[in-house]
Amino acid sequence: MKISFEVKKFLFILAGLLFISKMVFAGEYIKIGLNYPETGPYSVQGLAQLRATEMGVEEINGSDGILGKKIQVVRRDSKSDALLSKKNVEDLIDNEGCEMIFGGVSSGVAIASGKAAKSRGKICFGAVTASNATTGIEGHKYIFREYYSDWMISNSNYDF
């Protein structure tokens, strides 16, 4: 089976995050939270995130996991709503024991999720967030993104 560039990128980022976040690996699984738009205006992009997540987790778990631990994904529907996303992140960390959070298709969601993760000392990976504010004025050491920024888009020669 050929693995797409996007899935490979997801696997690389996920593995790197899990190693640099200084997690304590207790139990059989490493729980990560997927806070994505299952419903709402960005549900199509959310479905793509879910599918990429499932493929990535299958690949990692099929290769003995990370440090011998399998990944378990706990999902929440953000509905692309910043306030709901904040509550989801708090629940995923406080009640589900997730070591990191990722997902989302809105810069507002990413910023709110990142603030909630920061308040708990956990990493948040804003999957699709183009706003310069995400890693600029609203940025901190607990949030990052791999998605291009508004500046990159406006200064590129690409025809999107």
pLDDT above 90 for 25: no
Whole-model pTM: value is: 0.75
Question: What does the chain come to in residues?
Answer: 160
Domain range 29-154, its CATH number among 3.40.630.10, 3.30.950.10, 3.40.50.2300, 1.10.645.10: 3.40.50.2300
End-to-end, the C-alpha distance of the chain in Å comes to 29
pLDDT tens digits for 98-137?
A: 999 988 888 888 889 899 999 999 998 887 776 665 666 7
Give the whole-angstrom CA distance, residue 132 versus residue 15: 25
115-146 as b/e, with b when 16 or more CB fall inside 10 Å?
Answer: bbbbeeebbbbbbbbbbbbbbeebeeebbbbe
Q: What is the pLDDT of residue 26?
A: 56
DSSP SS3 for 142:
coil
Residue 134 DSSP class: H
The string of pLDDT tens digits covering residues 64-93 is 898 889 999 999 999 999 999 999 999 999
